[in-house]
Amino acid sequence: MKQALKIIYLFIFFIIFCLYETFQNSGTRVIEIITPSKIVVDLNNNGIKDDGETICIPDIKVFTANLQANQNELAKSLNISQTDAINAGYLSDEFAKETLLGQKVTVEFTENAKPECKFANIKIDEKNYSELLLNSGLGIIDNKPANPELFKQKIKEAQSLNLVILNRKSRKFHKLDCKFGLNSADYVIIPMKDAENMYERCKYCLVRPVQQEKFKAKVEETLDKSTYPEVFIHQNIKFIVSDYTNHLVPDSKCAHYFCKEVVNLINTTNSTLDMAIYDWNNIPEVIAAINKAKSRGVEIRVIYDKRTGDNFYPETDEFVSTIENTRSDEIEGSKNLTSMLMHNKFIISDNKRLLTGSMNFSRTGLSGFNANSIILINSEPIAQYYTQEFNQMFSGKFHTLKEKHNASNVFKSGDSTIKVYFSPQDKTAKNALVPLIENAQKYIYLPVFVITHKDMTEALIKAKNRGVDVKIILDATATRTNHSTHTVIRSAGIPLKTENYAGKIHNKSMIIDDKYVVTGSMNFSNSGENRNDENCMIIENTDLAKFYRGWFEFIWKKIPDKFLKYSARPESRESIGSCYDGVDNDYDGKIDFNDEGCRR
């Protein structure tokens, strides 16, 4: 009897066990999370992924840390970076795994489908997965977070993890924006703390930045921080330079005099604002001033250069698209004319005030990072003379299509005499600059971006030979320019230093005999004189000449004498700041410690 009961109990236990196993294995389980909104459910309970078992969640979007997922448009619509899209995606992936992976779910199909998946609502423990995702702060509907504040908190939470891309094949880990990490085929996203003791750091995105910061700290310890005044005011003239030796990183803060003067000029314009721009960045304070001018009814016109090759400033197109009255220098049907540059950089306010000079309206220009000179003149006759030139270009006459002005180009402003020249119609070098050099008696100092003009070069050599003190500070990139005459100039015994700072010597200027200052947009080149749209001023004012000479001598002393014979490399350890300024100083596609010059 006891033996029979024992057999019965074992049989009952076996039946219960089978029922339990059957119950446990019934229903559908999630066997893979492709993305938080694309799930693989084992619909036929065979334990493997089969066709038709990939489910897409309808009416909801969510980021993923899957690097192959195309989520650029979604990130852009939410105004977040690609890095933060991956950050949010990491948390979303983790949430989906913790919530669904290995769990039994109920699948309610909709009528919609696409080639890679069927749309269906998924429920777990009678809870709708979509609602769980939205409540987590990670779900997005109609390109907006369901809970914006919680979404921001989630991104901050992910940022604090300092996530990296681990390439499991190379066993190296990378920052989330590193091209070597993003191109990994076999990878995983993990917190850096989980990677740094087991795997090797990427030498491009993680090792070099550490070296770069140490190098920056060492440079700044030994940096000569002496300064020179940047503003000269005399009667109706304000002349501004940049002590670029103390502005080693460009920014968009609008803290420099250059930017403040541009903003002030726009803010105090009442009726008309004419702008001739070669390069442009959307600096927030400048854009705000433009928008305020529009709102108070100021008529704004913009002339700009139409690039035919690489566009270093794509924001130019974005800016001009917001202005109603614009004109590029593109000449329909003529590639030759269109290839010439509209190289002016000037603003005319109310036909009464003028701002002009060598400065581009860009981050590197407006922040004082590049050495430039600008002049602001409160003179209706000069402003109207520039307006005639502007109108000529705005009507479609650019470059060699332009005509000379009939009116006199000589103006009085207080006790200053100002002569204005426009390229190419005035042949500025031939008719103004060479004669000025030929008549110099004591000194000629040139802070210049480039010099390739043969007649000007010959005139400078002749001036040196008759006893005039000639000195030149040349931008480091100019030594790589075709037809640069710097070797000829040095061979003639003229002291010429290539500058060795991060920013450019972008001036196009001369100071002569404590009497004359030349400034404007025109490079001392054949193109500057004969092809491009340019403006150039010769200002006769002793006090201004002395001020600018002082600036030249200040920069000259800061540049080591070894660069009288040796040309500084524009992105290298010898060009101060160039290895941590975030700028491709030598245009080779490599920035800072990714450039060989900074690693040597």
61 lies in a domain? yes
212 lies in a domain? no
| Cα 436 to Cα 512: distance, rounded to the nearest angstrom | 8
With cut-offs at 50, 70 and 90, classify the pLDDT of residue 598: confident
Contact 490, 497 (CB under 8 A): no
| Cα 107 to Cα 128: distance, rounded to the nearest angstrom | 10
Q: Which two tokens stand for residue 64?
A: 């993923």
With cut-offs at 50, 70 and 90, classify the pLDDT of residue 198: confident
573 lies in a domain? no
Q: Among 141, 161, 181, which residue terminates a domain?
A: 161
68, pLDDT greater than 50: yes
* 236: nearest Cα among 424, 378, 42: 378
Phi, psi of 49 (to 5 degrees): -80, 120
Looking at the structure, tell me whether residues 60 and 188 fall in a common domain. no
> What pLDDT is stored for residue 311 in this prediction?
52
Q: What is the mean pLDDT of residues 208-214?
A: 81
577 lies in a domain? no
Q: What is the mean pLDDT of residues 199-209?
A: 81
277, pLDDT greater than 90: yes
Cβ atoms within 10 Å, residue 94: 16
Mean residue pLDDT across the chain = 91
Percentage of the chain exceeding pLDDT 70: 94
Looking at the structure, tell me whether residues 156 and 88 fall in a common domain. yes
Q: What is the mean pLDDT of residues 189-211?
A: 84
Looking at the structure, tell me whether residues 94 and 147 fall in a common domain. yes
> What pLDDT is stored for residue 26 in this prediction?
42
According to DSSP, the residues that pair with 496 across neighbouring strands are 472
Q: What letter does residue 568 receive in the DSSP assignment? A: P
Looking at the structure, tell me whether residues 75 and 187 fall in a common domain. no
pTM across the whole model: 0.73
CATH label of the domain that carries residue 85: 2.40.50.90
Looking at the structure, tell me whether residues 362 and 487 fall in a common domain. yes
* 477: nearest Cα among 486, 464, 489: 486
> What pLDDT is stored for residue 10 in this prediction?
55
Contact 502, 583 (CB under 8 A): yes
Q: What is the mean pLDDT of residues 36-48?
A: 92
Which residue did the predictor score with more confidence, 346 or 587?
346
Q: Among 161, 177, 192, which residue terminates a domain?
A: 161
89-113 tens-digit pLDDT: 999 999 999 999 999 999 999 988 8
With cut-offs at 50, 70 and 90, classify the pLDDT of residue 592: confident
Looking at the structure, tell me whether residues 254 and 325 fall in a common domain. yes
User: Could you tell me the strand order of the sheet in which 353-357 lies?
Assistant: 231-234, 237-241, 373-378, 353-357, 346-349, 272-277, 299-304, 325-328
298-325 tens-digit pLDDT: 999 999 998 755 555 678 988 999 999 9
**Strongest mean pLDDT among 8-22, 40-54, 141-155, 264-278:** 264-278
365-394 tens-digit pLDDT: 999 999 999 999 999 999 999 999 999 999
Q: Which two tokens stand for residue 58?
A: 């309808």
**Strongest mean pLDDT among 79-83, 197-201, 527-531:** 527-531
515 lies in a domain? yes
Report the run of H or E that residue 515 belongs to, with start and end: none
> What pLDDT is stored for residue 196 in this prediction?
81
Least confident segment among 17-21, 180-184, 239-243, 334-338: 17-21
> What pLDDT is stored for residue 18 in this prediction?
43
Looking at the structure, tell me whether residues 102 and 167 fall in a common domain. no
18 lies in a domain? no
Q: What is the mean pLDDT of residues 162-167?
A: 94
592 lies in a domain? no
334-376 tens-digit pLDDT: 988 988 999 999 999 999 999 999 999 999 999 999 999 999 9
Q: Which two tokens stand for residue 320?
A: 């001009």
Looking at the structure, tell me whether residues 291 and 320 fall in a common domain. yes
Contact 45, 25 (CB under 8 A): yes
> What pLDDT is stored for residue 8 in this prediction?
56
> What pLDDT is stored for residue 23 in this prediction?
36
Looking at the structure, tell me whether residues 345 and 460 fall in a common domain. yes
Range(s) of the domain holding residue 368: 231-564
According to DSSP, the residues that pair with 123 across neighbouring strands are 106, 128
507-534 tens-digit pLDDT: 999 999 999 999 999 999 999 999 999 9
9, pLDDT greater than 80: no
Q: What is the mean pLDDT of residues 161-179?
A: 92
392 lies in a domain? yes
Looking at the structure, tell me whether residues 66 and 194 fall in a common domain. no
291, pLDDT greater than 90: yes
Looking at the structure, tell me whether residues 192 and 88 fall in a common domain. no
Cβ atoms within 10 Å, residue 563: 19
Buried residues in 133-161 as b, exposed as e (16+ CB within 10 A): bbebbbbbeeeebbbeeebeebbeebeeb
20, pLDDT greater than 50: no
DSSP 33-89: EEETTEEEEETTSSSS--TT-EEE-TT-B---S-TTS--HHHHHHTT--HHHHHHHH
Contact 215, 580 (CB under 8 A): yes
> What pLDDT is stored for residue 24 in this prediction?
38
With cut-offs at 50, 70 and 90, classify the pLDDT of residue 16: very low
> Total domain count for the chain?
3
> What pLDDT is stored for residue 1 in this prediction?
54
Q: What is the mean pLDDT of residues 578-587?
A: 89
468-510 tens-digit pLDDT: 999 999 999 999 888 899 999 999 999 999 999 999 999 999 9
140, pLDDT greater than 80: yes
Contact 74, 92 (CB under 8 A): no
449-469 tens-digit pLDDT: 999 999 999 999 999 999 999
Contact 539, 514 (CB under 8 A): no
| Cα 223 to Cα 214: distance, rounded to the nearest angstrom | 14
548-563 tens-digit pLDDT: 999 999 999 999 999 9
> What pLDDT is stored for residue 135 in this prediction?
93
Looking at the structure, tell me whether residues 90 and 169 fall in a common domain. no
Report the run of H or E that residue 111 belongs to, with start and end: strand 104-114
Q: What is the mean pLDDT of residues 34-40?
A: 94
CATH label of the domain that carries residue 333: 3.30.870.10
* 308: nearest Cα among 337, 275, 346, 277: 337
